Structure 1
Amino acid sequence: MRVTVIGTGYLGATHAICMAVMGFEVLGVDVDASKVDTLNQGRVPFFEPGLPELLTKALESGRLRFTTSFAEAGAFGDVHFICVGTPQQSGSEAADLTYVDAAVTTLAPYLTRRVLVAGKSTVPVGTAARLADLLHGLAPAGDRVELAWNPEFLREGFAVDDTMKPDRMVFGVTSAWAEQRLREVFEPVLAQGVPVKVTDLQTAELVKVAANSFLATKISYINAMAEICEATGADVHDLAEALAYDERIGGRFLRPGLGFGGGCLPKDIRAFAHRAEELGVGQAVGFLREIDGINRRRRARTVDMVVEICGGDVAGKRIAALGAAFKPNSDDIRDAPALDVAATLRAAGAHVVVYDPAAMDNARRAHPELAYATSALDAARGADVVALLTEWNEFREIEPSAMAAVVRRRKIVDGRHALDPSSWRAAGWEYRALGRPVVQGA
């Protein structure tokens, strides 16, 4: 069975590379010729641990190549995966389906035999049924072209593992033939005992946004508790640990801090709420609006905390911003809380110096007004306040005494609850974190 992957962004490139490593002949397709050239030359155009090595292996095997030709893709593939982006629409909370529609309408005229088109992109419920009608109307093979939905559950920084051995697979299908096709193409994955849920198209579409909404709710719940803790003098870190012992709740993602960002969670919960309103059931997920609001408030509160620790005014102060990516092990700065905080402090008159182990180039392009350093200690040199905004392990491992030797003042705002407060306070630092009591340094 031969596989095409339409779209070679984060999802598509990862999927194409991993499918080739698992033994399939794979053709990656993208309208961006420069991206295609980059991948064919063996370079991954984004940061993802382990993926560059797999790309080299896949290209050397001869089972993977990339092209801009949809005609070539139509002739090549038995299963066509749609892996293009669905960003938030400009001026709306709805998902922008321009790229999904373009992928289907461009590919369809070249489908002359029985094939399966499998969507992996995150789309509003009801999209798959519409795309199936579009395929049947545009493809020469007509009804012999079937559509399935196979949502992705990749975590940036762990995308290779999540592709090669996911925690579950979801097959949204309308026939036994489509299910069998998916089982064949994912046979190396399923052979490891990965559970499969076979369902209809609309349920498969909902699984990803429902999962992301639940995750966002859990993250925002503990951040809402952090707001309560700040008002009462309680400690949200201890509160979260006590809650985690309850097996009905668990401790995963029950960690307070600056909140979530990236290219999935924020836009997915907004698009989900928007789609629910279109369907007349907006009240059912009305809580997602407040989840989004809690998440945004964490950024504003972090800025306020930096201002407070500066004595009420950051104008002219040097702030070291440790982190730019929305999460560690990624260079993705889409809706990144770290850069949002850094840019807001810069707008308030601070001199903000940013350092991130992987996202520096992306950050510079998006925020040229900020200053950038070559290391965490370089960023902290002469700083009035250090703000930890992305929880890279590199930052966790910094010795408080080493950083104390380069800063102007020993003041740190831990926006991710990533540091040991006692160690920093013992080294003479004024340590502040969202939802934790204020304790002066030794």
Structure 2
Amino acid sequence: MAPKITVIGTGYLGATHAAAMAELGFEVLALDVVPEKIAQLSTGRGPMYEPGLDELLTKHVAGLEGSSGRLRFTMDFAEVADFGDVHFVCVNTPQKHGEYACDMSYVDSAMESLAKHLSKPCLVVGKSTVPVGSAERLASRIAELAPAGDEAELAWNPEFLREGFAVDDTLHPDRLVVGVRSERAEKLLREVYATPIEEGTPFVVTDFPTAELVKTSANAFLATKISFINAMAEICEAAGGDVVKLAESLGYDERIGHKFLRAGVGFGGGCLPKDIRAYMARAGELGVDQALTFLREIDSINMRRRGAAVELAREACGGSFLGKRVAVLGATFKPDSDDVRDSPALNVAGQIHLQGGQVTVYDPKGMENARRLFPTLGYADSALDAVRGTDIVLHLTEWREFRELDPAELGAVAARRTIVDGRNALDPEKWRAAGWTYRGMGRPNA
């Protein structure tokens, strides 16, 4: 008989994982402590915009017409413990206020609330991004609290989801990493992930510390690659080079590759910034802080590029934003998402607003979240409305909709045809041909 799956936490990771497990054929019971989340998910709507997620929920949430009925929701830890054979813990680990370290209180609370109800053999699987050493501590705590004792075992199975591709990344992952302490735990996880394994997904079996380190190490590497090309953009700006052509040339080296080599306003979101900071904090606790001191400069370069975009825009406005109308295209930290956490686009928009600019923002999916975070900014219902009457346009999130804009149509409603491409994703020649002054980051002016 197939194991029954539970998912603790129905945020970005948990909602996606629960829906995907149902899609793979398992009976799934998902838990959250927020009634509004449960109510929304029960209607087949996810807690955030993620391509394909609502369709998957509609297909499997119990009580919806035509659904498989394999996915249900609850707020009762006792019900979850009684139902499940494999319990995935998918709660958030945000950055602590005023510190680099991550806040483990949500993970600790979820594990303890579940453990005290575990009276039968089961596997608890951590998927949250945690400091190395957490699994060891949590395994001991579960064994201490669970009525089942050692029969309630822990494993660690980090997630590698990309926002905008999370459903596909869950159903067809590029690798599966499991930190386990027994053949039983490995066997159970091989059963859960049988479909992707049969499709050829590598299945890496390791210990707790290595499994915990994989996610933070991967994010540190990606952040390093992004900040590297942004550092090269700074050099290009000083030397008169073109960072886009530089990145293209570097990317043809198969040891380097083209991915994550696009210079611009840098990375943001709920993972990379807080994960590299938490990694540095944990290295310090372990007495090996020097191993990760380079990440401080990675973080610094990243934040510097936001200021560089503001400076580039101010220069293009004649040295001051006072009295200038500014259109910002993009609010989310990346396309195909409604996530505005630590968004470079909104950070730049906010800085310009504080310097006297009249800022109007448009984003295809992130407007509601942006309004909540930056209520003092102006918002438009379309790119055309955002640009109408403006002195300068900033392209700060690389949505396909923005790449496909007609420069002539926008030029007809703008007061001045000046655009700063903070993602180096637009075609300079196309915009210049339509009469625009195009400025890219790390690129020549003409």
- Look up the equivalent residue of 2:310 and give its one-letter code: V
Counterpart of 1:213? Answer: 220
CA distance in 1, matches of 2:444, 2:240: 5
Asked if residue 165 in structure 1 is aligned to residue 167 in structure 2, the reply is no
- Candidates 394, 397, 417, aligned match of 2:401: 394
Alpha-carbon deviations, 1:316-337, whole Å to 9, x = none? 1110000000000000000000
Counterpart of 2:40? Answer: 38
Counterpart of 2:373? Answer: 366
SS in 1 for 2:305: helix
- Candidates 403, 411, 416, aligned match of 1:404: 411
- Look up the equivalent residue of 2:31 and give its one-letter code: V
SS in 2 for 1:148: strand
CA distance in 1, matches of 2:36, 2:404: 38
Counterpart of 1:356? Answer: 363
CA distance in 1, matches of 2:47, 2:141: 32
- Candidates 138, 157, 171, aligned match of 1:150: 157
CA distance in 2, matches of 1:284, 1:249: 22
SS in 2 for 1:431: strand
SS in 2 for 1:136: helix
- Candidates 427, 430, 443, aligned match of 1:420: 427
Counterpart of 1:138? Answer: 145
Counterpart of 1:6? Answer: 8
Counterpart of 2:92? Answer: 85
Counterpart of 1:299? Answer: 306
SS in 1 for 2:190: helix
The within-5 A match list for 1:225-240 is 225-240=232-247
CA distance in 2, matches of 1:432, 1:375: 22
Alpha-carbon deviations, 1:351-404, whole Å to 9, x = none? 000000000000001110000000001000001000000000000000110110
CA distance in 1, matches of 2:45, 2:297: 41
The within-5 A match list for 1:242-253 is 242-253=249-260
- Look up the equivalent residue of 2:105 and give its one-letter code: T
SS in 2 for 1:320: strand
SS in 2 for 1:61: coil
Alpha-carbon deviations, 1:156-200, whole Å to 9, x = none? 000011000000000100111110010011112212111011000
CA distance in 2, matches of 1:34, 1:144: 34
**What's the offset of the Cα at 1:64?**
0.4
Task: Please list every run of 5 or more consecutive structure 2 residues that lacks an aligned counterpart in the other structure.
Answer: 62-66
- Look up the equivalent residue of 1:222 and give its one-letter code: I
Asked if residue 27 in structure 1 is aligned to residue 34 in structure 2, the reply is no
- Candidates 56, 59, 75, aligned match of 1:57: 59
CA distance in 1, matches of 2:95, 2:225: 22
Alpha-carbon deviations, 1:31-69, whole Å to 9, x = none? 001101110121112100111111010121111011111
- Look up the equivalent residue of 2:32 and give its one-letter code: D
TM (normalized to structure 1)? 0.99
Alpha-carbon deviations, 1:112-134, whole Å to 9, x = none? 01100000000000000000011
SS in 2 for 1:170: strand
**What's the offset of the Cα at 1:155?**
0.3
CA distance in 2, matches of 1:314, 1:329: 30
Identity %: 64
SS in 2 for 1:307: helix
Counterpart of 2:64? Answer: none
CA distance in 2, matches of 1:315, 1:86: 40
**What's the offset of the Cα at 1:315?**
1.0
Asked if residue 263 in structure 1 is aligned to residue 270 in structure 2, the reply is yes
SS in 2 for 1:5: strand
Asked if residue 435 in structure 1 is aligned to residue 435 in structure 2, the reply is no
SS in 2 for 1:412: strand
- Look up the equivalent residue of 1:408 and give its one-letter code: A
Alpha-carbon deviations, 1:54-96, whole Å to 9, x = none? 1010121111011111010010000000000000000100000
CA distance in 1, matches of 2:254, 2:39: 49
**What's the offset of the Cα at 1:245?**
1.3
CA distance in 1, matches of 2:47, 2:288: 40
Task: Please list every run of 5 or more consecutive structure 1 residues that lacks an aligned counterpart in the other structure.
Answer: none
SS in 1 for 2:318: coil
SS in 1 for 2:299: helix
- Candidates 43, 48, 66, aligned match of 2:50: 48
Alpha-carbon deviations, 1:203-260, whole Å to 9, x = none? 0000000000000000000000000000011111111111111111111111111100
SS in 2 for 1:408: coil
Asked if residue 17 in structure 1 is aligned to residue 24 in structure 2, the reply is no
CA distance in 2, matches of 1:365, 1:355: 14
Counterpart of 1:282? Answer: 289
CA distance in 1, matches of 2:169, 2:46: 18
**What's the offset of the Cα at 1:427?**
1.2
Counterpart of 1:338? Answer: 345
Asked if residue 223 in structure 1 is aligned to residue 235 in structure 2, the reply is no
CA distance in 2, matches of 1:278, 1:42: 43
CA distance in 2, matches of 1:340, 1:204: 33
- Look up the equivalent residue of 2:262 and give its one-letter code: R
Please tell me the root mean square deviation across aligned C-alpha atoms, in Å: 0.6
- Look up the equivalent residue of 2:29 and give its one-letter code: L
